[in-house]
Amino acid sequence: MVEYSVLSLVRNALGGHKGWIRAWRDPEPKRHYDVIVVGGGGHGLATAYYLARNHGITNVAVLEKGYIGGGNVGRNTTIVRSNYLLDGNNHFYEHSLKLWEGLSRELNYNVMFSQRGVLNLAHSDGQMDAYARRGNAMRLNGVDSELLDREDVRRLYPYMDFSETARFPIYGGLLQPRGGTARHDAVAWGFARGADRLGVDIIQNCEVTGFERSGGRITAVNTTRGSIGCGRIGMAVAGNTSRVAQMAGLELPIESHVLQAFVTEPLKPLIDGVVTFGAGHFYISQSDKGGLVLGGDIDFYNSYAQRGNLPIAEHVMANGCAMMPNLRRVRILRSWGGIMDMSMDGSPIISKTPLHNLYLNAGWCYGGFKATPGSGWVFAHTIAEDRPHKFNEPLSLERFATGHLLDEGGKGPTPKLH
Amino acid sequence: MIRITCPHCGPRDHDEFSYAGDAGKLRPADPEAASAEDWHRYVYLRDNPRGPHLEFWHHVQGCRAYVKVLRDTATHEVLATGLPQDDLEAAR
Amino acid sequence: MIFGRHAPEQTHRLAAGGEIDRLRPIGLSFDGRSFGGYAGDTLASALLANGVKVVGRSFKYHRPRGILSAGPEEPNALVELRSGARREPNTRATMVELFHGLSATSQNRWPCLAFDAMEMNDLMSRFLVAGFYYKTFMGFPGWHFWEKRIRAAAGMGRGTVEPDPDNYETMNAHCDVLVVGGGPSGLAAALAAGRTGARVVLLDETDGLGGRLRSEREALDGAPAMRWVESASAELADLPDVRVLTRTTGFGIYDGNVVGAVERVADHLPVPPAHVARQRLWHIRPRRVIVAAGAIERPLVFGGNDRPGVMLAGAVRSYLNRFAVRPGSSAVVVANNDDGYRTALDLAAAGVDVAQILDTRGGGRGAWRDRALAAGLEVADGHAVTNAYGRMGLVGCDVGRLDGRGGTVGDSRFVACDLIATSGGWTPSIHLHSHAGGKAEWSDAVAAFLPADGRPGIATIGAAAGRFALSDCLADGFRTGAKAAQACGFGSGTAPDAPATEETATAPLQAIWSVPGTPGRKVRRFVDHQDDVTVEDIALAHREGFVSVEHLKRYTTLGMGTDQGKTSNVAGHALMAEARGQPVPVVGTTTFRPPFTPVAMGALAGRAAGRHLAPIRRTALHDWHATNGVVFVEAGPWLRPQYYLQPGEANAKEAMDRAITGEVVNTRTRVGISDVSSLGKIDVQGPDAAEFLNRVYSNGFARLPVGKARYGLMLREDGIVDDDGTTSRLSEHHFLTTTTTVHAAKVLADLEWYLQVVWPELDVRVSSVTEQWAGMALAGPRARDVLAAAVDPGTADVSNAALPFLGVTTTATIRGVPVRIFRISFSGELGYEVNAPADWGIEVWEALMAAGEPHGIRPYGLEAMGIMRIEKGHVAGPELDGRTTADDLGLGRMTGRSKWYVGRGMLDKPAFTDPDRPSLVGLVPVDGQTRIRAGSILVDDPDAATPIPKLGHVTSSAYLSPTVGHPISLGLLARGRERIGQEVWAVYPMRAIRVRARVTETCFVDPKGEKLHG
Amino acid sequence: MAETATLPARRSPLDGVWTPGDHGAVGPGGPGVTMTRRLGLSAVQLDARAGTADAVRHAIAAALGVALPAAGHATSGGDVRALWLGPDRWLLMAADGFGLEPKLRDAAGPAGGIVVDQGHGRAILRLEGPAVRDVLAKGTGVDLHPRAFAEHAVAQTGLFHLTATLDRRRGTGRFDVHVMRGFAVSLFESLCEAAAEYGYRLV
Ligand SMILES: Cc1cc2nc3c(=O)[nH]c(=O)nc-3n(C[C@H](O)[C@H](O)[C@H](O)COP(=O)(O)OP(=O)(O)OC[C@H]3O[C@@H](n4cnc5c(N)ncnc54)[C@H](O)[C@@H]3O)c2cc1C
Ligand SMILES: NC(=O)c1ccc[n+]([C@@H]2O[C@H](COP(=O)([O-])OP(=O)(O)OC[C@H]3O[C@@H](n4cnc5c(N)ncnc54)[C@H](O)[C@@H]3O)[C@@H](O)[C@H]2O)c1
Ligand SMILES: Cc1cc2nc3c(=O)[nH]c(=O)nc-3n(C[C@H](O)[C@H](O)[C@H](O)COP(=O)(O)O)c2cc1C
Ligand SMILES: [Zn+2]
């Protein structure tokens, strides 16, 4: 087991880097695991890691149908923040943000968590009031937030459109200084390596195709690499949630939609923090490689295809160029899509299910990357203890029936609007 | 660009329409008889299939008709379109 | 141009030949130095003509780099084009057409191209291997410290911080057959289709047609091939329904086979002409797509293969034949296919000394080889370059004999040269095929992936399909073009005759993915030039388990640069396959994604950026406001009056406060008028109209009398309040429903939904009449006097008896204009809403103003309206926030259980009946003066330990209610109605504000509503 | 509606922006597009209630001499032009003096027609000239090629992101464009910018 550090890097450099070993093993699936985590994305891998680290459960497999990190964790715009309005979300995401702050050292893997600050722009008095409510609520929870006026914003981003012709003038914004970005792939790889070091089997190219049940329990999962027995199952398959749930006979308050993202040619440092436009859905930040990473709305139709269409792409660019008119000559290098598990109230579900030993982690909508460590933490707890952690009690599946919804946007049961 | 054939206007770009979601869900016909569970299933639960999906698109920039569409969610291919009361199952 | 003449001699320009126009010299400057070129040059060809070797620096190691290619695949020669607001970083010199005054700057170097401090990365390269950053920078002083430095070294060019002065636009096109690519294949396809009368669009990324033919010495029908290209182009130009777009890149295929293309309308000019967009985005909706995008050559991977002076063989031919430029004076040619010979012959023909032709194949057979030998060229079979030298420009290379087992035999010898032409084979451009989900199939013959079965309606042909013989390309094009047209109902489908070619048979290529290095030397073999990915990096990725091509890509950044691996992916994936000991097709390839080449954000945004981001909606009274001191504010798409300044007043805070307070006071004490045209108005007609409204509104509408209005509440299916408004019954089967401004469109769509989908049996028709009617709210104690004076005598009786509260009349006219008058009020005053046909709105408004003159009428805006509705405790946007129930808002009485309506099925949910739910209350500062701001949180104990328990929040607030003389607010408070009279804290920690507030009823003014009925 | 004679003149939403004359890059061949405002037009929406379409069609033909068009088309008859707007929904237009609305009410009402005055709710522009198709193509995804969009073809569609009605009139390159009154200035600006490179004339 090679510890990563400057020293080991230098040592290996002198040895022509022959000394490095696999970041995680490539084991054959065992016949039985105490816990099987379905889905080798950020959440599945984090869950496996914390099952071993926090609960000492190491006879764990993560089953990934493709290559780990090939899902949304590997295709998201990497914004990390905890500036949520509703307590049910806010406490959970803040717990996650705290974990981010120590994650690289925790995992001995540089996930490049960069607290560059997340700024949400406001374009009307009403929006300023809404941000005030959110920021004030955050402060009462001990979470950092600052209300900026127009001039504060201008100082941070002088090249935004502060002109007379701006269609939606900038009134100010809500800033969370501790928010930022992280290196998406590294998060998957870091958790994978961390979990592997604690004994977890990470099994790629292993698609779950069905469940073997007896009564209210699942006894084994059928996969493209054979049937594997299990004690408990944690589902963390994001965009594919409904399909896997269906194998267990569950119908969920979830729709799958495609969200596109874009990256520009690499530039010298231009945009220091994370900025979201308030008069249309648009968010942007700059990756360490120099590419501007940006996105906006989903494509507004159910989809399992990891690609979108031009109208939304054009809409995203229009918003971006309206916010920052200097971006028009910057070129888009690549576009792609990811399948998002849009829930009916726009908030996630980390919960027990009607099946005794099946646990659900889904409904992440636009925002599950930031949740990765927190989600793994509380999901591991829920699986290990067979009851929710206090931070995911409000994220239960029952809330849709009881009416205890977490509708940050007040959009109602219309997934495309969350 | 998904090209959707409106039964009234002919083939149009999908961005002339507003997506109105799952058309497989039927609203409880007799509200009196419907249980809380029935309303819950109607309002909150979705099949969300990968493959052919029955859905509504509202032709907001066109004739304002709700168009029933059978579309493959894996390929985005439109398999059939019709009026809300039409049965498109044959195209599956 | 003058300064073209001052420029140094074009030392590497051939005396004759090429497409350039020697009569049109053009000057350019690169890094401040002036050079001369000609019309028809690209920046790259002009720099080469002037003997410039080093053009850029690589991404990671900052190694000096030259020009590798002559096309869009260029990984090295990236520059900052233009300056100031028009500066474009990362611009491929190979794709920039010369224009007068062109100025370009090298990038990713400091302080200058010749000496770059960051080149120390290259010395440190053994530490900076793939993924090194994941393994360190975790400890003190932390990532944020290192990140700054890494970011400064990373990136490539500098983006501008000034707004782009140019414009962009979108264009839509439809056609039967779209041909992407104007080489021989594409031309043939377009001709075959165009001749049938089908509508054809032909795109080419470059400034002209011909494709590779522009760069080759090929003959067609016994004449230079470009003659045929010219006649083909002329014929296409004459066909009425054929559109040829040059400088236009088809960057992606989307659903429905819609192709996105970007036309560089004015990038070849110093600045766009007046009224002309810089770039134009095309949406092309073809019935058939033919992709004739050609193939891209890849370099062999050998030691020092990134040295300035190492160039793709095909690019060498482009510079020789198309641009009349000699990329070097003494060349070594190294290839694993016949392109080596073809190139050597062209070099020799151009008078360049060819030191050696190295054929990595051992065979020593083939017609091309014979031609080379016949031309007296020196050929070394089974040889390759094992290392190349020359940091700032190639000086020579080691040549070694391959043992066929990944090593060399014998010593290598040094050969002096300033140019290495290399070909590792050609990679078909299957990008667009793949965008549409088409499969890729490995071909050993081509040593690349070819398009396999794909989406119907898309055909990939010619070199893009791995058919490299000119005759095959032409045949392919004519055949496919004719077939495509036929499929659209044009022509017989028979292919026209192709021109005769004169081709030399080619011998099969032999793949070699990396060339062994000079024995005893540590060589650097670059697979991905731009991102500095070496053969060793790929081995490391394999060692660490990043063995899937997707992991390989993300771990090493192979193919993630601006060129997206056009010249490097195949070799990279093949090397991983070798490491895994599996065939390439098993290892596979990474995903092709749009855009094919990078596209400016502005082009995608089109004109919708800036002030056109969203169309502005103006009320029928807009022009009146504009000339009467209004200050407008955006309300969704609408521009609405916020308040009105007095003549001569500047829009300062005091003036604003004065205006708003004045408008409120005037309305409450005299009479005011405001523009409510933007409220949604929906005409509902039909025998079942009453039944329909009774189902969509939570309160009853079945028995609303004709000539009466009623306030109504609509719920969402989930039981939450959706919208409110008044509905008036104009006749037995005719209603007019109003909605809030923001929800107008949604409510109409919902009503249509219920009628078309849910209750088709109801005989009702709904239509929006929002724009048909200008709406004016006349409010205040004198409102009736004003109305009575304005209404044309005898057309309507507006007395309290004839037109009581919630009464409606449709008979009145004002200045002859038929109007609808509704006695309803949002302000709580005696009020009327007057609707007039929009084109007469201003006349009616002015009539009311005139009639109101003696009564002191004043227009009031949104701010005054907002204060007055808070004074009355009326809910609006901040209260209808999509989370509140009717009960929360004190409107529970409107959600009875006596009938069914949308949303009722949800109302009994535990959470909705929870007594602890926040409910709407009024709030006043205990000190009688401190404003309680909207967005404040309501708590019992602001000093409690965090997280501090919250009781609710302040939804709306008036910093001063002129009517009650102190600040008032509305808020949602847990168990609010039980707390009336009690005190709570309203805290605003972000501004360190806390205010002691008393909980009150929601209505601060005229709770009994006497004013309404008076 | 009361006798137009006694009524004030109707205002156009474009009064404030309409500057007659040539604009943009007008070449020797004259402007690529000529724009005219179609003023003084009554426009009334006619819906046929469930199952009454035929009766309404007959009633209108008899009373106004115009045949209600099929989907995607327009017809002219008598003094009236009729556009198809949607299923069982048409827009009928005539000069203000014609008294269209009352006539429609009398004719269609009994047959099951529902009449909604929309004349003030929309602005109508006539565009003609050699560049008209290109100008409109910058804003709409509808195929305007004569083969696909013949004379008297009508489309409800998006035009520069606004909802608009395109009515192809007789002759090549002549279109009437309807847009909601409140968006008239926005559409006008878009059309002008799109037309500037060909040159345009405001009449
Ligand atoms: C374009 C885009 C931008 C986004 N931007 C942000 C952002 O800025 N900030 C933020 O916080 N969030 C963002 N998100 C959301 C975030 O990426 C996701 O919510 C989060 O990654 C989901 O959790 P995950 O990582 O476990 O999902 P995934 O990475 O998708 O993991 C799920 C895994 O399950 C696997 N799987 C599925 N079915 C099976 C099966 N049957 N058997 C085995 N394995 C299976 C999949 O292959 C996949 O690897 C974005 C998402 C997208 C698509
Ligand atoms: N020597 C060899 O082994 C070899 C290999 C490959 C090709 N060739 C020769 O090259 C020619 C191939 O003919 P062809 O017509 O198939 O290809 P081509 O390369 O001649 O033409 C392709 C054209 O498509 C354009 N293009 C590519 N992608 C585009 C896009 N996305 N949008 C717009 N334009 C795009 C390019 O600018 C180019 O003009 C033949 O003459 C063939 O003999 C020879
Ligand atoms: C934050 C982030 C930054 C990215 N930067 C780049 C980049 O610089 N170059 C590149 O080619 N792709 C970049 N990508 C996109 C990936 O290449 C890839 O498209 C994405 O991970 C989705 O995978 P897929 O395209 O293989 O489906 C980036 C992706 C993310 C999430
Ligand atoms: Zn339609």
C357 half-sphere exposure, CB direction, 13 A CA radius: 30
CATH of the domain at D27: 3.30.1360.120
B51 touching C (Cβ < 8 Å): no
Using the 3D structure, point to which of D119, D139, D172 is the last residue of a domain: D119
- Does residue D14 sit within a domain? no
Amino acid found at C288: R
> What is the rounded distance in angstroms from the CA atom of residue A271 to the CA atom of residue A244?
40
The answer to whether C768 and C751 have CB atoms below 8 angstroms apart is: no
3-class secondary-structure state, position A234: strand
Sorted by where each starts, the structural domains of chain C and their CATH numbers stand as 1-163 (3.10.20.440), 168-295+428-487 (3.50.50.60), 299-424 (3.50.50.60), 525-595 (1.10.10.1100), 671-860+873-904 (3.30.1360.120), 915-1014 (2.40.30.110)
Whether pLDDT at C192 is above 50: yes
The model's pLDDT over C326-370, given as tens digits with 9 standing for 90+, comes to: 999 999 999 999 999 999 999 999 999 999 999 999 988 999 999
Using the 3D structure, point to which of D84, D119, D154 is the last residue of a domain: D119
Q: CA of D9: which chain C residue's CA is closest? A: C840
* C583-590: average pLDDT: 97
The model's pLDDT over C435-479, given as tens digits with 9 standing for 90+, comes to: 999 999 999 999 999 999 999 999 999 999 999 999 999 999 999
Same-domain check for residues D179 and D129? yes
- Asked if A270's CB is within 8 angstroms of C161's CB, the reply is yes
Same-domain check for residues D105 and D87? yes
Placement of tokens 């007296």 in the chain: C376
Which residues in B lie closer than 8 A to residue C255 (C-beta atoms)?
A: 1-3, 14, 76-77
- In sequence order, the β-bridge partners of residue C173 are C284
D156 touching B (Cβ < 8 Å): yes
pLDDT at residue C8, as a whole number: 64
Count other C-beta atoms under 10 Å from residue D10's C-beta. 17
Same-domain check for residues D30 and D128? yes
- Asked if D148's CB is within 8 angstroms of C174's CB, the reply is yes
CATH of the domain at D49: 3.30.70.1520
What token pair was written down for C757? 């989908």
Which residues in A lie closer than 8 A to residue C166 (C-beta atoms)?
A: 328
Whether pLDDT at C6 is above 90: no
Which residues in D lie closer than 8 A to residue B2 (C-beta atoms)?
A: none
Amino acid found at A102: G
Whether pLDDT at C644 is above 60: yes
Total number of domains in chain D: 2
Q: Which of A137, A158, A326 sits opposite C164 (nearest CB)?
A: A326
- Asked if A242's CB is within 8 angstroms of B46's CB, the reply is yes
Helices C569-580, C549-556: axis angle to 10 degrees equals 120
> What is the rounded distance in angstroms from the CA atom of residue C160 to the CA atom of residue D101?
58
* C86-98: average pLDDT: 98
- Report residue C245 CA to chain centroid gap: 22
Same-domain check for residues D33 and D46? no
Reply yes or no on domain B3-25+36-91 having CATH 3.30.2270.10: yes
The interface residues of chain D toward chain B in range 50-79, judged by CB-CB distance below 8 A, are 71-72
Which residues in A lie closer than 8 A to residue C609 (C-beta atoms)?
A: 317-318, 321-322, 325, 328
B21 touching A (Cβ < 8 Å): yes
The interface residues of chain B toward chain A in range 49-88, judged by CB-CB distance below 8 A, are 49-50, 53, 55, 71, 73-76
- Does residue D7 sit within a domain? no
Rounded to the nearest angstrom, the minimum Cα separation between B76 and chain C is 7
pLDDT at residue D7, as a whole number: 92
Placement of tokens 């040592």 in the chain: A11
The answer to whether C41 and C116 have CB atoms below 8 angstroms apart is: no
pLDDT at residue D3, as a whole number: 44
> What is the rounded distance in angstroms from the CA atom of residue A29 to the CA atom of residue A11?
34
Domain that holds residue D27: 21-39+121-202
A93 touching C (Cβ < 8 Å): no
The answer to whether B31 and B78 have CB atoms below 8 angstroms apart is: no
Residues in chain C, total: 1014
The interface residues of chain A toward chain B in range 397-416, judged by CB-CB distance below 8 A, are 400-401, 413-416
| Helix ranges, chain D (H) | 53-64, 100-108, 132-137, 184-195
C683: Cβ–Cβ under 8 A, 6 or more apart, which residues? C734, C735, C736, C766, C767, C768, C769, D116
Q: Measure the N-to-C terminal CA separation of chain A; round to a whole number of Å.
A: 44
In short, whether C591's Cβ falls inside 6 Å of ligand 3 is yes
Which residue, among C859, C416, C430, has the nearest Cα to C624 in the 3D structure? C859
Same-domain check for residues D150 and D112? no
Distance B8 CA to ligand 4 centre (A): 5
Angle subtended at Cα C44 by Cα C43 and Cα C48, rounded to the nearest 5 degrees: 120
- Asked if C717's CB is within 8 angstroms of B1's CB, the reply is no
Beta strands across the sheet bearing C630-635: C617-618, C638-644, C630-635
Whether pLDDT at C4 is above 50: no
Q: Which helix (H) or strand (E) holds A375?
A: helix A372-385
Which residues in C lie closer than 8 A to residue D45 (C-beta atoms)?
A: 767
Rounded to the nearest angstrom, the minimum Cα separation between C283 and chain B is 9
Same-domain check for residues D70 and D90? yes
The model's pLDDT over C405-430, given as tens digits with 9 standing for 90+, comes to: 999 999 999 999 999 999 999 999 99
Is cis: bond before C327, omega within 30 of 0? Answer: no
- Asked if C620's CB is within 8 angstroms of D13's CB, the reply is yes
Whether pLDDT at D1 is above 60: no
> What is the rounded distance in angstroms from the CA atom of residue C731 to the CA atom of residue C686?
10
> What is the rounded distance in angstroms from the CA atom of residue D71 to the CA atom of residue D61?
17
Count other C-beta atoms under 10 Å from residue C823's C-beta. 25
**Residue C756: DSSP 8-state:** I
- Asked if B13's CB is within 8 angstroms of D71's CB, the reply is no
- Asked if B48's CB is within 8 angstroms of A400's CB, the reply is no
Whether pLDDT at D2 is above 60: no
- In sequence order, the β-bridge partners of residue D116 are D45
User: pLDDT band for position C7 (50/70/90)?
Assistant: low
pLDDT at residue C468, as a whole number: 98
Same-domain check for residues D139 and D169? yes
Candidates B4, B43, B48: best to mutate against A (most CBs of A within 10 A) is: B48
Rounded to the nearest angstrom, the minimum Cα separation between B52 and chain A is 10
**Residue C989: DSSP 8-state:** G
* C921-943: average pLDDT: 98
Angle subtended at Cα D191 by Cα D185 and Cα D193, rounded to the nearest 5 degrees: 105
Using the 3D structure, point to which of D119, D150, D180 is the last residue of a domain: D119
- Asked if C948's CB is within 8 angstroms of A140's CB, the reply is yes
Whether pLDDT at C1 is above 80: no
Average per-residue pLDDT for chain A = 97
Is cis: bond before C141, omega within 30 of 0? Answer: yes
Q: CB burial class (10 A; 0-12, 13-18, 19+) of residue C208?
A: middle
How would you label A294-312 residue by residue, b for 16+ Cβ within 10 Å and e otherwise? bbbbbbbbbbbbbbbbbbb
> What is the rounded distance in angstroms from the CA atom of residue C710 to the CA atom of residue C276?
54
The model's pLDDT over A236-295, given as tens digits with 9 standing for 90+, comes to: 999 999 999 999 999 999 999 999 999 999 999 999 999 999 999 999 999 999 999 999
Beta strands across the sheet bearing C78-81: C33-39, C21-30, C102-106, C78-81, C88-92
CA distances in angstroms from A121 to A138, A148, A365, B64, listed in the order given: 17, 9, 21, 34
Which ligand lies nearest to the CA atom of residue C425 in the structure? 2
Q: Cα Rg for chain B, rounded, in angstroms?
A: 14
- Does residue D165 sit within a domain? yes
Give the start-to-end residue ranges of the domains of chain B.
3-25+36-91
Q: Which helix (H) or strand (E) holds C601?
A: helix C601-605
Same-domain check for residues D189 and D161? yes
A279 half-sphere exposure, CB direction, 13 A CA radius: 28
Q: Which of B8, B12, B16 sits opposite D87 (nearest CB)?
A: B8
**Residue D12: DSSP 8-state:** P
Helices D100-108, D53-64: axis angle to 10 degrees equals 130
- Asked if A251's CB is within 8 angstroms of B50's CB, the reply is no
The model's pLDDT over B41-76, given as tens digits with 9 standing for 90+, comes to: 999 999 999 999 999 999 999 999 999 999 999 999
CA dihedral A90, A96, A100, A101 (to 10 degrees): 60
Whether pLDDT at C78 is above 50: yes
Placement of tokens 């690519």 in the chain: C181
> What is the rounded distance in angstroms from the CA atom of residue A5 to the CA atom of residue A18?
16
In short, whether A334's Cβ falls inside 6 Å of ligand 3 is yes
B29 touching C (Cβ < 8 Å): no
pLDDT at residue C5, as a whole number: 47
> What is the rounded distance in angstroms from the CA atom of residue C1011 to the CA atom of residue D7?
34
Q: CA of A305: which chain C residue's CA is closest? A: C437
C222 φψ region: left (φ > 0), alpha (ψ -120 to 50), beta (else): left
The answer to whether C952 and C902 have CB atoms below 8 angstroms apart is: no
Look at ligand 2, atom 28, and give the residue with the nearest C-alpha. Answer: C293
> What is the rounded distance in angstroms from the CA atom of residue C558 to the CA atom of residue C564?
8
The answer to whether C980 and C1001 have CB atoms below 8 angstroms apart is: yes
Which residues in D lie closer than 8 A to residue C622 (C-beta atoms)?
A: 13
Task: Assign 3-state DSSP to chain C and report helix, strand, coil percentages, each to 5.
Answer: 25, 30, 45
> What is the rounded distance in angstroms from the CA atom of residue C958 to the CA atom of residue C869?
10
User: pLDDT band for position D4 (50/70/90)?
Assistant: very low
Same-domain check for residues D52 and D91? yes
B33 touching A (Cβ < 8 Å): no
Same-domain check for residues D140 and D180? yes
Which residue, among C418, C206, C408, has the nearest Cα to C310 in the 3D structure? C418
In short, whether A66's Cβ falls inside 6 Å of ligand 1 is yes
Average per-residue pLDDT for chain C = 96
Q: Cα Rg for chain D, rounded, in angstroms?
A: 17
Q: CA of C261: which chain A residue's CA is closest? A: A310
User: What ipTM was estimated for this complex?
Assistant: 0.97
- Asked if D138's CB is within 8 angstroms of C171's CB, the reply is yes
Question: Considering chain C, what percentage of its residues have pLDDT values greater than 90?
Answer: 97
Same-domain check for residues D69 and D132? no
> What is the rounded distance in angstroms from the CA atom of residue C428 to the CA atom of residue B82?
41
